[in-house]
Chain A
Amino acid sequence: MQLEAALALVATGDRHAFAQLYKATAPHLYGLALRILKRRDWAEDVVQETYLQIWHKAALYHADAGSPRAWLSVMLRNRSFDRLRRERARGSGTTAPFDEVLQSRLADEETPSPFNRVADGAEARRLADCLEGLEANPRRAIQLAFWDGLTHDELSMRLAAPLGTVKSWIRRSLMRLKACLDL
């Protein structure tokens, strides 16, 4: 079944369609949650919350809201970031700060950047190339926002740069990405 059709049926309360949607998409969403949260228990919570949200709000999916997989992924990411921020506020950091790892990678020019993990497919290659085209600091800001859900304020602290600078890094990078991808 097409995911669009499954979502439309889920919106009518169809449990069969919900099971099919889950089967088709849960491994991707769980993998994504693990990548962002790096903890199984949190990832399970967030995946469960996301599917509950889908069950109740599948009617909000519109064809112009992106592909179903992208829509579901963004929903999962938003919930993951909410969780991560709550845990950060509570001081229960899970891992070494990501940027330390990143710093050590950037220090070594031989090491390909983390965006190189995007290896498959022309679209992914293109996105990776466009990201590579950004300058080092703006790219780090984009990376930290994308994978760790850091807000402007958090980025400003983490990257030791003024808030206004960070905001303009993000905005200029997004516009450059858009121009690069839409070429």
Chain B
Amino acid sequence: MTDITSLNEDERDLLAAEYVLGVLLSSERAAVDQAMATDTKLRRNVGIWSDRFFPLMAAVPAVAPPTYLFTRLQTAIGPEANDKYTTRKGLGWVAIAAAMILAAFLLWPQVPTETQIATLSGTGAQSPINVALGHEHGEILFDPILPVMVDRDYELWLVEPGSPPRSLGLLSRAGTGALGIAADALRDLTAPNALAISVEPIGGSPTGQPTGPVILSGPITVTGTRG
């Protein structure tokens, strides 16, 4: 790859744009990463392009990660390897305990234990499935009885009377398991709203609204006491 320092301003800006777009080889990207440590102009160009493209990234529905992910991270940054602050060493364990309590508090989902919230049924041969909220994980749980698909995704929709359906995310293609759910969506999982599952192209509906057949739907039968 050409020497980044020899690039003129336009070429440097294009390189920054390609970096953010995602088209550079991993080795080319590493060279840009390295150059950015000292090249403030390049860093600013990358920053501007990041902000330009960010609306596309922000438009992707947020999904609450499983809680064990944070636990794993806590372990990975564990006290021995990362006690960066020798001055704090004496307080290390107290600080860690405090951080863990805080983390537990921050991450404690505001949902009761597992509660069935809806039964979804379809018009075809598809059997009805039960939908429940997973205890302590902020997850929606499904009966694992949807047909396996290789070239389509199942997308779950929240339907509020008087509003267009809102995507709650993609189910596993095998139609099994759990779907992480953001706290603000969780609050809307109450009557009189409904849930629906449609079949969409890989990656989900291209329009933000259901485009494929709705194979299952049903009203949410609990009223809003959560959150």
Contact = CB atoms under 8 A, between A and B. Distances in A.
Contacts of B227: none
A101 B23 contact: no
A105 B17 CA distance: 27
Interface in A139-183: 142, 145-147, 149-152, 155, 170-171, 174-175, 177-178, 181
Contacts of B18: 170-171, 174
B6 interface: no
Interface stretch (B120-128, B199-207, B213-221): B199-207
Interface string A90-112: 00000110100100110000011
A16 B51 contact: no
Contacts of A133: none
Contacts of A151: 23-25
Contacts of A69: 54, 58
Given A22-B70, A66-B51, A151-B25, A119 B60 contact: no
A114 B206 contact: yes
Contact of A22 (B48, B57, B73, B208): B73
A3 interface: no
A104 B200 CA distance: 13
Interface stretch (B94-102, B111-119, B188-196): B94-102
Interface in B101-141: 102-103, 106-107
Contact of A38 (B51, B70, B203): B203
Contact of B102 (A16, A67, A95, A114): A16
Interface string A1-43: 0000000000011011011101100111011101100101000
Contacts of A22: 70, 73
B58 A124 contact: yes
B77 interface: yes
Nearest to B41: A64
Given A65-B47, A74-B20, A82-B26, A19 B63 contact: no
Given A27-B62, A74-B50, A151-B25, A13 B85 contact: yes
Most central of B20, B40, B170 by chain A CB within 10 Å: B20
B14 A175 contact: yes
Contacts of A95: 151, 202-203
B144 interface: no
B172 A116 contact: no
Interface string A107-136: 000011111111111011011000000000
Interface string A44-67: 100110011001000010101111
B82 A146 contact: no
Given A40-B172, A95-B202, A174-B17, A120 B59 contact: yes
A170 B14 CA distance: 10
B78 to A, nearest CB: 10
Contacts of B46: 65-66, 74
A38 B89 CA distance: 42
Contacts of B47: 62, 64-66, 70-71
Nearest to A142: B21
Given A35-B204, A66-B49, A117-B205, 10 more contacts: A18-B77, A27-B62, A30-B62, A30-B65, A30-B180, A82-B26, A95-B202, A101-B203, A127-B52, A127-B53
30 contacts: A16-B102, A20-B106, A22-B70, A22-B73, A26-B65, A27-B64, A28-B58, A30-B64, A31-B62, A34-B169, A35-B204, A44-B66, A44-B69, A55-B82, A64-B44, A66-B54, A70-B51, A74-B46, A95-B203, A98-B202, A112-B206, A118-B59, A127-B53, A127-B56, A145-B23, A147-B203, A149-B23, A155-B23, A171-B14, A181-B52
